[in-house]
Copies of this chain bind each other. A is one copy, B any other.
C-alpha cells in the first residue's frame, strides 16, 4: 500500500470502529485533545492519528484489533502524568486512552480489597477507601490527575514505600488486554494463589509495553489512627544509618517514612524558599521520621520516649517532635517544598535514582564534586526516601534555561556514578524513552536481552508502544 492508500485504509477502519464504539470513542484530526499528545515531562508533544476512548476491556480489544489491521502503533494512556514519555505517542500512532474507564466496581470488606477500572484517578480511590473505613496507602503529588492503571504500569512509589511497598505490592489481581487483543481477566482477590505463574507482575512496571491494563484489584489497609513525626538533625551519615536501624527496630512496622535531606538542600529551602524548619542549620544531615499507629494516646508518648532515648544516647544533635497535625504538616512542608523547586531554583534537571542505603552518602559527596568539577557553575542538592534506597537530586547552572542546561553532561556524570556504584537509573519514574539510553547503566546485557525476549513473545509485531523501555 502506498501512503495515501494506507491513510485511507486507516481512516475507513477507524470509521468502522467509531460506528461500533460510538462517536465519543474515536477522536481524529482536529478533535484530538492536546493533552493526549504528551506527558508531564513536557518534552516533544506529538500528534496521534487518533485517540480511542473505550468504555471496557472489550472496547480496548476492539481498538487493538483495529490498530493491528491498520498496522498502526498504539500506546495506552492514563492520566499522562508520567515523566519519561512512557505514555506519550509518536506522530501517527493511535492513543488508546482509559479516561472513560473510571469508577470503583466493588469494595469487599472481608477480603479488604477494592476492584476499580484502570482509568480511575488515584485520589478517587484514596477517598473511596477512606469513606469505607479503609486506607489505600499509595500517594503521589499527581494524585488528582494520575490514573491507577498508569500507577501500575510504572509501578509507582511515593511517600510510604518503606511501610507499604511499591504499587506492585498493593495489587492482587488485574484484567489486561494483550497486544493481540486477548482479554486476560485475572481479578484475583486472594493473598495466596499459587495456581500457575503469577501473570500480573508481567504487566506491572512494564510501562504499557506488554498489555493494556483495564481493571485492578487493590489491597486495602486499616486506617491509621495516629501519626507521629519528628525532624532530626544528625552529625553524619553513620548516625543516619544508626537512626534508621533504631527506627526499624524501635518503631517496627509503625515506621511510615524516613526522609533524609543533605545540608545543601537545607540551605536552599531556608535561604531561597523561606521555609522555617523547627531545627536550625549547621548540622551534618537532617531526617524526617514518621510513624503511624493505631492508638493516639499510647503511640504518641511511646514515640516521644523513643526519641528522647536517642537524644540521651547522643545519636541526634537536635530534634523536634510534632505536637499537632498542623506541626506534622509543617514538618512535611520541609520535605515537600521540593515540588516547588521550579520557582525556588529556576530551571533545573531532576533525577530519581536508586542506591544501596550504605553507599548513599558516598554517592552524594562524589556526585556533588564531580558535577562542580566537570560542569562550570553546576550546583546540586540531594534528598530522598533513604529507607527505600531512593535518592532524588536536582542539578542546575544558574542563568540557563531548561533547554540550555547541560543535561547530557549531567546525565553522563550522574548515571556513570550510578553504574559504578551498582545503583538504578530509575527508582520510581520508569524508563519510557527519556531514560532508555541509560538502561544499560542499571541492567546487564543479559537482563535487557531477556526483556526483549518477553516483549517479542507478547508483541511479535511490536505494535504496542514500540521503542519504549527497551
A205 in the interface (beta carbon within 8 A): yes
Taking the closest CB of chain B, its distance from the CB of A177, in whole angstroms, is 10
Cα distance A222–B387 in the bound complex, in angstroms? 13
**Chain B residues positioned under 8 Å from A444 (CB to CB):** 184-186
**Chain B residues positioned under 8 Å from A189 (CB to CB):** 356, 389
A390 in the interface (beta carbon within 8 A): yes
Q: Which listed residue, B183, B195, B356, touches A424 by the CB 8 Å rule?
A: B195
Q: Which listed residue, B191, B387, B439, B450, touches A162 by the CB 8 Å rule?
A: B191
Q: Considering the complex, give the chain B residue whose CB is closest to the CB of A192.
A: B427
Stretch at the interface among A46-54, A247-255, A271-279, A338-346: A247-255
Stretch at the interface among A290-298, A370-378, A396-404: A290-298
Question: What copy number does this chain have within its complex?
Answer: 2
Query: Are B205 and A198 in contact, CB atoms less than 8 angstroms apart?
Result: yes
Q: Which listed residue, B111, B183, B426, B448, touches A194 by the CB 8 Å rule?
A: B426
A241 in the interface (beta carbon within 8 A): yes
A202 in the interface (beta carbon within 8 A): yes
**Chain B residues positioned under 8 Å from A198 (CB to CB):** 155, 168, 201, 204-205
Query: Are A251 and B294 in contact, CB atoms less than 8 angstroms apart?
Result: yes
Q: Which listed residue, B162, B182, B450, touches A199 by the CB 8 Å rule?
A: B450
Stretch at the interface among A116-124, A138-146, A453-461: A453-461
Cα distance A150–B219 in the bound complex, in angstroms? 27
Taking the closest CB of chain B, its distance from the CB of A434, in whole angstroms, is 13
Query: Are B194 and A427 in contact, CB atoms less than 8 angstroms apart?
Result: yes
Query: Are B196 and A451 in contact, CB atoms less than 8 angstroms apart?
Result: yes
A73 in the interface (beta carbon within 8 A): no
A385 in the interface (beta carbon within 8 A): yes
What are the interface flags for A346-373 relative to B under an 8 Å C-beta threshold, 1 for contact and 0 otherwise?
0000000011111000000000000000
What are the interface flags for A99-117 relative to B under an 8 Å C-beta threshold, 1 for contact and 0 otherwise?
0000000001111100000
Cα distance A194–B82 in the bound complex, in angstroms? 13
Query: Are A183 and B358 in contact, CB atoms less than 8 angstroms apart?
Result: no
**Chain B residues positioned under 8 Å from A293 (CB to CB):** 252
Q: Considering the complex, give the chain B residue whose CB is closest to the CB of A357.
A: B110
Cα distance A133–B246 in the bound complex, in angstroms? 12
Query: Are B358 and A431 in contact, CB atoms less than 8 angstroms apart?
Result: no
Q: Which listed residue, B169, B223, B442, touches A165 by the CB 8 Å rule?
A: B169
| Given A190-B354, A450-B184, A249:B199 Cβ within 8 A | no
What would be 9 A-B contacts, judged by CB atoms less than 8 Å apart?
A188-B424, A190-B354, A190-B356, A191-B388, A193-B424, A195-B442, A196-B451, A197-B205, A197-B469
Residue numbers of A with Cβ under 8 A of B are: 108-112, 133, 154-155, 157, 161-163, 165-166, 168-169, 178, 182-186, 188-199, 201-202, 204-206, 210, 221-225, 241, 244-245, 248-254, 293-295, 298, 302, 354-358, 385, 387-390, 423-431, 435, 439, 442-444, 446-451, 453-454, 456-458, 469-470
